[in-house]
Amino acid sequence: MKDVIIIGAGPCGLSAAIECQRQGLSSLIIEKNFIVHSIYLYPTNMQFFSTTELLEIGNVPFTSPNEKPFRHEALVYYRRAAQQYGLEIAAYEEALKVEPQEDGSFSVHTSNLRGEQKVHYAANVVIATGYFDQPNLIGIPGEELPKVTHYFGEAHPYTGMKVTVIGGSNSAVDAALELMRVGASVDMVYHGDRISDNIKPWVRPIFESMVKKDKITLHLQSRVTEITVDSVIITSKDGSKTSLDNDFVLALTGFRPSRVLLTSAGVAMDDDMDKPAFHPETMESDIPGLYVAGVIASGRNANEVFIESGRGHGKLIADHIASKQMTGVKEMDH
């Protein structure tokens, strides 16, 4: 039996495993895809908002020639950090259920790529599953069409195509600019009266300039209300509808964490924000020995927790588990 099983090999899960190792705790990371899968799914050419030191885990230096690193640099960095600490990672193995046992330990039921079912046991479990697997669906006719995606990799496949981007955040703005550069015809649709205030400051003036030059058509206070094989229907705030010729739709509407593992283990959830009950100073849920790390600790507003803040959860968790073990040893001595 391991001291700790960590579910999720994103930056926050890796950080938790490293901090547990530094406390002398044995750990296993269970990851349904592969190490830092969410960062792999970021746009190919994406540049982080954060500086390298804010992305570091386990005191492993993140060096980059750029003040703010790019996706490919982060992939190399997190691989190196995991290798440096020799973390035990069960990749391509999905955790299906976490069950508290009568003695206070946990069983974690998994399934791998070959469909083999396994059960792992640990004294403690950390759920650090992130949120990139569940896009926020709009719930409109045509959203299920093959030409619609909630992920943007790179612009090249859209060369010369008519593309509608739904959203007004950094991901939507970055995609619109990349699409424009490969010669796509770009319509961007956003329900707000202006794009997000959080747009990267070095990107905003470029985007606004391209809108002014009609290189990108921006539809504010509007929503896509229907998608057909060859068009999108946009409804504005006043109720008027416009039909645009369309080849592809990028619905960049954000993501939300899955709560399945938390609820399977019986963790209480906040009704309003779908937020798990936990102690912020230890990250322990209302079930002793079951912890949350990273974005899974947030409510529906997944933007509450980023790598910069979530990477610190691991130390809180490892310190708490180690202190519980010390208390147990002292009690045995008496």
**Cα atoms found within 13 Å of the Cα of residue 289, Cβ hemisphere only:** 22
pLDDT at position 301 is 59
Selected residue with higher pLDDT from 258 and 188:
188
Look up residue 167 and give its amino acid.
G
Q: With 60 as the cut, is the pLDDT of residue 305 above it? A: no
Q: Which domains does the chain have, with CATH numbers?
A: 2-133+255-333 (3.50.50.60), 148-251 (3.50.50.60)
- Determine phi and psi for 151, rounding to 5 degrees: -125, 140
Categorize the per-residue pLDDT at 195 as very low, low, confident or very high, splitting at 50, 70 and 90. very high
Distance from C-alpha of 33 to C-alpha of 182, rounded to nearest angstrom:
31
Selected residue with higher pLDDT from 107 and 276:
107
Categorize the per-residue pLDDT at 200 as very low, low, confident or very high, splitting at 50, 70 and 90. confident
Look up residue 89 and give its amino acid.
I
Average the pLDDT over 188-212 and give the result.
Answer: 92
Q: What is the pLDDT of residues 215-241, one digit of tens each?
A: 999 999 999 999 999 999 999 999 999
Distance from C-alpha of 145 to C-alpha of 152, rounded to nearest angstrom:
16
Q: What is the pLDDT of residues 37-74, one digit of tens each?
A: 989 988 898 888 888 998 999 999 999 999 899 999 99
Specify the residue for token string 């409510």: 299
SS (H, E, C) 189-237: ECCCCCCCCCCCCCCHHHHHHHHHCCCEEEECCEEEEEECCCEEEEEEC
Distance from C-alpha of 199 to C-alpha of 174, rounded to nearest angstrom:
9
Q: What is the pLDDT of residues 251-287, one digit of tens each?
A: 998 887 778 888 888 888 876 657 888 998 999 999 9
Paired strand residues for 124? 4
Q: What's the whole-number average pLDDT of the chain?
A: 90
pLDDT at position 131 is 76
